[in-house]
Amino acid sequence: MPIKEVFPNPTVKQVIFQIKFPNLFSIESKIGDFQTKIISEFPESSLMFRKQIVFADIGPEGKIEELPGGPSEGKKIWQFKSEKKITLNILTSSLDLTSNYHKTYNNKDAPVRFRDTIQFVLENFLSIVKLPIIQRIGLRYIDECPVPALTTASFKEWYNTVFPFERFSIEETVETSYVTLVKRNGYFVRYLESFNAEQNKYVLDFDSYAQNIKPEDLLGVTDKLHELISNEFEKTIKTPVIEYMKKPIKKDEGK
């Protein structure tokens, strides 16, 4: 059941792309040039600091400010946001994109595609920052899926779940989750399925990644990571979920 269409009511709520690379102090001097290149798409910018946590036994007379790398020190984060609130974070050892807006990766019928945003950011970043190797590249999709009814039979009609409902029925389940990490064709896929009965919330969390990638292969590898995620999503949902995603969102339910 390959999914080829763009749905008006998709289950995906957040998409995240990230690359990690060796720590480069030179990035700070190039951020201004990078900002100029992407400002048309990411006009809002800010500088933040992520404080590092230090665990130490300083004794009754010790002072936290006397510790090396105390609370005043932390990692710089150059953050850029688009008008659609797509967030881009640059650190000296990573780049990540987070979107609550995109609903498709590369469907040709969609006016906005997440792959296009990734390509725009990477091309401009790599034009000013020369990376010898990408240590890790990751793509993650988080889906919040509908729960038709709190019955095992209904849940199985909608989802090909890995939950052991034969032993622990959904009628008696308060909260459950399952996570696995597998390696396929040289790439990794972490599959997380979780259900909370009190919140009536069912989440599918797909995180695929690769290691030690050449910069020129970034987009091609990202395509393969997306294919792995798409395959797992298709294996998990059934026809009623497809029909749910096809239904337009009512105006009073605006997102």
- In the chain (255 residues long), the average pLDDT of successive 10-residue segments reads 75 96 95 97 91 52 48 77 94 96 87 94 96 95 95 96 94 96 95 95 97 96 96 95 87 46
Task: Report d(CA 60, CA 74) in Å as an integer.
Answer: 25
Q: Is-contact 213 137, C-beta < 8 A?
A: yes
Assessment of whether the complete model's pTM goes beyond 0.85: yes
Q: Is-contact 199 223, C-beta < 8 A?
A: no
For residue 2, the model assigns a pLDDT of 52
For residue 109, the model assigns a pLDDT of 80
Please state, as a whole number, how many other Cβ atoms lie within 10 Å of the Cβ of residue 11: 20
Return phi, psi of residue 64, to 5°: -60, -30
- Checking 87-90 for CB contacts under 8 A at 24+ apart, the result is 88/38, 88/42, 88/121, 90/27, 90/31, 90/34, 90/125
Cα angle 44-122-231, degrees, rounded to a multiple of 5 = 110
For residue 64, the model assigns a pLDDT of 45
The one-letter code for the residue type at 83 is E
For residue 67, the model assigns a pLDDT of 47
For residue 132, the model assigns a pLDDT of 87
